[in-house]
Protein backbone atom coordinates (compact mmCIF):
# COMPACT_ATOMS: atom_id res chain seq x y z
CA UNK A 1 0.00 0.00 0.00
CA UNK A 2 2.93 2.34 -0.53
CA UNK A 3 1.13 4.10 -3.40
CA UNK A 4 -1.69 5.44 -1.18
CA UNK A 5 -1.95 9.20 -1.48
CA UNK A 6 -5.53 9.80 -0.33
CA UNK A 7 -7.21 8.30 2.73
CA UNK A 8 -10.92 8.93 3.11
CA UNK A 9 -13.27 7.95 5.92
CA UNK A 10 -17.03 8.04 5.26
CA UNK A 11 -19.19 8.61 8.36
CA UNK A 12 -22.86 8.26 9.25
CA UNK A 13 -24.60 7.43 12.52
CA UNK A 14 -24.50 3.63 12.75
CA UNK A 15 -22.23 2.66 9.83
CA UNK A 16 -24.79 0.22 8.39
CA UNK A 17 -26.52 2.19 5.60
CA UNK A 18 -25.09 5.41 4.19
CA UNK A 19 -21.38 5.32 4.99
CA UNK A 20 -20.82 1.70 3.94
CA UNK A 21 -22.65 2.52 0.71
CA UNK A 22 -20.38 5.51 0.11
CA UNK A 23 -17.31 3.40 0.87
CA UNK A 24 -18.39 0.50 -1.34
CA UNK A 25 -19.41 2.65 -4.30
CA UNK A 26 -16.26 4.76 -4.09
CA UNK A 27 -14.10 1.65 -3.82
CA UNK A 28 -15.72 0.13 -6.92
CA UNK A 29 -15.36 3.29 -9.00
CA UNK A 30 -11.75 3.83 -7.88
CA UNK A 31 -10.99 0.23 -8.85
CA UNK A 32 -12.72 0.69 -12.20
CA UNK A 33 -10.55 3.75 -12.85
CA UNK A 34 -7.42 1.75 -12.03
CA UNK A 35 -6.64 3.98 -9.03
CA UNK A 36 -7.25 1.57 -6.14
CA UNK A 37 -3.63 1.58 -4.97
CA UNK A 38 -3.78 5.36 -4.50
CA UNK A 39 -6.76 5.38 -2.14
CA UNK A 40 -7.36 4.01 1.34
CA UNK A 41 -11.12 3.98 1.99
CA UNK A 42 -13.04 3.08 5.13
CA UNK A 43 -16.30 3.93 6.88
CA UNK A 44 -17.42 4.33 10.47
CA UNK A 45 -20.30 5.54 12.60
CA UNK A 46 -20.53 8.27 15.19
CA UNK A 47 -22.47 5.86 17.41
CA UNK A 48 -21.66 2.32 18.54
CA UNK A 49 -25.11 0.75 18.06
CA UNK A 50 -24.05 -1.69 15.33
CA UNK A 51 -20.32 -2.31 15.89
CA UNK A 52 -19.28 -5.59 14.29
CA UNK A 53 -22.43 -5.95 12.20
CA UNK A 54 -22.52 -5.99 8.41
CA UNK A 55 -24.41 -3.34 6.47
CA UNK A 56 -28.21 -3.39 6.72
CA UNK A 57 -29.75 -6.15 4.59
CA UNK A 58 -31.69 -3.63 2.48
CA UNK A 59 -28.52 -1.61 1.89
CA UNK A 60 -26.71 -4.71 0.69
CA UNK A 61 -29.58 -5.79 -1.56
CA UNK A 62 -29.89 -2.40 -3.24
CA UNK A 63 -26.12 -2.16 -3.71
CA UNK A 64 -25.84 -5.68 -5.13
CA UNK A 65 -28.48 -4.87 -7.76
CA UNK A 66 -26.04 -2.26 -9.07
CA UNK A 67 -23.00 -4.50 -8.80
CA UNK A 68 -21.61 -3.29 -5.46
CA UNK A 69 -20.80 -6.01 -2.91
CA UNK A 70 -20.82 -4.60 0.63
CA UNK A 71 -20.96 -7.96 2.42
CA UNK A 72 -17.35 -7.84 3.64
CA UNK A 73 -17.79 -4.60 5.55
CA UNK A 74 -18.31 -4.44 9.31
CA UNK A 75 -19.57 -1.48 11.31
CA UNK A 76 -17.23 0.33 13.62
CA UNK A 77 -17.28 3.57 15.58
CA UNK A 78 -15.11 6.58 14.76
CA UNK A 79 -12.09 6.74 17.05
CA UNK A 80 -9.72 9.56 17.92
CA UNK A 81 -7.06 7.78 15.84
CA UNK A 82 -9.18 8.30 12.73
CA UNK A 83 -8.73 12.06 12.92
CA UNK A 84 -4.99 11.54 12.60
CA UNK A 85 -5.04 8.63 10.15
CA UNK A 86 -7.32 10.00 7.41
CA UNK A 87 -6.82 12.94 5.05
CA UNK A 88 -10.56 13.53 4.63
CA UNK A 89 -13.40 12.53 6.95
CA UNK A 90 -16.70 12.97 5.15
CA UNK A 91 -20.01 12.97 6.99
CA UNK A 92 -23.26 12.00 5.34
CA UNK A 93 -25.23 14.76 7.07
CA UNK A 94 -24.91 17.89 9.18
CA UNK A 95 -25.78 16.15 12.45
CA UNK A 96 -22.92 13.67 12.09
CA UNK A 97 -20.61 16.42 10.87
CA UNK A 98 -21.39 18.37 14.07
CA UNK A 99 -20.60 15.29 16.18
CA UNK A 100 -17.29 14.87 14.35
CA UNK A 101 -16.47 18.55 14.87
CA UNK A 102 -17.07 18.15 18.62
CA UNK A 103 -14.72 15.15 18.83
CA UNK A 104 -12.02 16.23 16.40
CA UNK A 105 -8.92 18.02 17.69
CA UNK A 106 -8.97 21.70 16.64
CA UNK A 107 -5.81 21.37 14.57
CA UNK A 108 -7.44 18.68 12.40
CA UNK A 109 -10.85 20.29 11.78
CA UNK A 110 -9.94 21.06 8.16
CA UNK A 111 -10.11 17.32 7.40
CA UNK A 112 -13.87 17.29 8.05
CA UNK A 113 -16.56 17.89 5.47
CA UNK A 114 -19.75 16.66 3.86
CA UNK A 115 -19.58 13.81 1.35
CA UNK A 116 -22.03 15.51 -1.00
CA UNK A 117 -19.79 18.56 -1.30
CA UNK A 118 -18.07 16.44 -3.95
CA UNK A 119 -21.31 15.55 -5.76
CA UNK A 120 -22.13 17.86 -8.64
CA UNK A 121 -25.51 19.45 -8.00
CA UNK A 122 -25.65 18.26 -4.38
CA UNK A 123 -23.02 20.53 -2.79
CA UNK A 124 -23.84 21.25 0.84
CA UNK A 125 -26.53 18.58 0.78
CA UNK A 126 -27.15 15.68 3.07
CA UNK A 127 -27.50 11.99 2.32
CA UNK A 128 -30.84 11.09 3.95
CA UNK A 129 -30.96 8.14 6.33
CA UNK A 130 -32.98 5.39 4.61
CA UNK A 131 -33.18 3.14 7.68
CA UNK A 132 -36.82 3.77 8.59
CA UNK A 133 -38.13 4.07 5.03
CA UNK A 134 -38.76 1.88 2.03
CA UNK A 135 -36.54 0.58 -0.75
CA UNK A 136 -36.66 3.86 -2.70
CA UNK A 137 -34.62 5.49 0.09
CA UNK A 138 -31.81 3.00 -0.40
CA UNK A 139 -31.87 3.62 -4.15
CA UNK A 140 -31.67 7.37 -3.54
CA UNK A 141 -28.65 6.85 -1.25
CA UNK A 142 -26.97 4.85 -4.02
CA UNK A 143 -27.64 7.60 -6.56
CA UNK A 144 -26.07 10.15 -4.22
CA UNK A 145 -23.14 7.85 -3.38
CA UNK A 146 -22.40 7.38 -7.08
CA UNK A 147 -22.45 11.15 -7.65
CA UNK A 148 -20.25 11.76 -4.61
CA UNK A 149 -17.79 9.02 -5.56
CA UNK A 150 -17.45 10.35 -9.11
CA UNK A 151 -16.85 13.82 -7.69
CA UNK A 152 -14.18 12.53 -5.30
CA UNK A 153 -12.38 10.83 -8.15
CA UNK A 154 -12.56 13.98 -10.26
CA UNK A 155 -11.25 16.05 -7.31
CA UNK A 156 -8.33 13.84 -6.31
CA UNK A 157 -7.33 11.81 -9.37
CA UNK A 158 -5.70 14.67 -11.37
CA UNK A 159 -3.08 14.88 -8.60
CA UNK A 160 -2.27 11.29 -9.55
CA UNK A 161 -2.00 12.07 -13.24
CA UNK A 162 -5.36 10.44 -14.07
CA UNK A 163 -7.57 12.34 -16.47
CA UNK A 164 -10.13 9.63 -17.24
CA UNK A 165 -13.58 10.52 -18.43
CA UNK A 166 -15.57 7.39 -17.63
CA UNK A 167 -17.42 9.06 -14.74
CA UNK A 168 -19.78 11.44 -16.48
CA UNK A 169 -22.39 12.93 -14.18
CA UNK A 170 -25.57 10.92 -14.00
CA UNK A 171 -24.14 7.80 -15.63
CA UNK A 172 -23.86 4.62 -13.64
CA UNK A 173 -20.82 2.67 -14.89
CA UNK A 174 -22.52 -0.64 -14.08
Q: Which residues have a catalytic role annotated?
A: 12, 18, 129
Read out DSSP for the chain?
Answer: -TT--EEEEEEESSSSSHHHHHHHHHHHHHHHTT-GGGEEEEEEESS-TTTTPPSPHHHHHHHHHTT---TT----B--HHHHHH-SEEEESSHHHHHHHHHHS-GGGGGGEEEGGGGSTTTTT--PPP-TTS-HHHHHHHHHHHHHHHHHHHHHHGGGGT-------TT----
Amino acid sequence: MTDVQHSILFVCMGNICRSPTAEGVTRALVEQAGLASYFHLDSAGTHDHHVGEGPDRRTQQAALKRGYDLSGQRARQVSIKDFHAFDRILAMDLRNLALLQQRCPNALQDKLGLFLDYAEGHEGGEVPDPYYGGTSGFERVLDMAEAGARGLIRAFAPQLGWMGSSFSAGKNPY
